[in-house]
Structure 1
Amino acid sequence: MALTEQKRRYAAARLSGMTKKEAAIEAGCPEKTASQAASRYEKDPDVQAAMGRQIAAEAKKKAEAPAVDPDPYIPDAANDPLEFMRQMMNSVEADPKLRLDAAKSLAAFTVAKPGEKGKKEERADAAKKASGGKFAAARPPLRAVK
C-alpha cells in the first residue's frame, strides 16, 4: 500500500518524540482505538520506510549545511520545470510515489516517442501489404520502342 497522509503524520509525530498512542491520536485516530492503530502503524512497512527516510535525511542534513526550507517534501527552487522534476526524482526524503510520478513526467518530456500515423497512412500501408505476395498484379508487358 501507499503512504497515506495519516501514516505520514503518524511517522512525523513519532519522530518528533511523541509516544505511540499520542502519535496515533495526532495522526487522526480515535482515542479509543489509538493504541491498536499505533501498533498497526509501527508494523506497517510504508511507515517504517518513511521514518527511515526521515532519519537518513536528518543525518544527511546534519552532515551538510543546515537547510532553510522547512518542508522536506519540496525540493530546492528551480527556474526550469525539468530541473525541478529531476530534483524531486532524486530527492531521498520525498515519498517514493512522488518520486515515481516526477520520473514519469520527466521521461515524457525528455524521451522521444515515435510518431503515430494517421488513418490515411495506415490504410495506404495496409493496401501495399495486401497487394504483394503470390497473388500480386503482374508487371505490364514490355513495349517495343520505335
Structure 2
Amino acid sequence: MLTAQKRKFALALMSGMSKKDAAIEAGYSEKSARSKGSQLAKDPEVIAFTERKKNEVIEVDDVPAYRKNVNTPADNVYTPTVNTSEERGDVGRYYEDPIEYLKAVMNGVEPDDMGRRDAAKAMLPYTHPKKGEGGKKDAKQAAAKAVASKFAGMAPPQLVVNNGKQ
C-alpha cells in the first residue's frame, strides 16, 4: 500500500528533486534521508505510482472561463475553490461515518479526492476498531463475561411492600 509519505516522495522525485531532497520533502529525517531516498526509489509501489502518473493524460482547456481554476501541465495539482454547500449544490453529501464516504468513493458516487480519502482512512481506527485489536487481556475478559452470563444464578426475588397487607 502506498503511504502518504511514499506518495509525497514520489511526487517530489517526479518534480525533479534528488532522492535525498525528495526524502526530506516527504518528511523523513535529514540524517537518514540519503539511504531512505535510495531505498524508496527502488520500492515497487513508488515505481508503479510514478509510472502511472507519467502515463496520466492531462486535459487542458484552450480558453479558460473567467475566474475558473484550470488544470495545466505546469500546475498538476488541482485545488478546488471553496464555496458553501448551497453554492456547490451538493447538500447532503457530507458523511458522518468515514466508512460510508469510502464506500461512496469505491462505488463511484463521490469523486476520488485524495485529501478527503486519506482523512477518512486516518479517522477509521477512531470510529471502527479492527477485529481482535483489543489484546489478550481484553479477550480474556470478554470470554469470562460470556461464560459468566451462561451460568449466572437467578436474580433474588424483589420485595414488595403492600402497606401491611399480604
Could you say which TM-score interval applies, normalised by the shorter chain?
0.3 to 0.5
More helix by share: 1
TM superposition score normalised by structure 2: 0.40
TM superposition score normalised by structure 1: 0.45
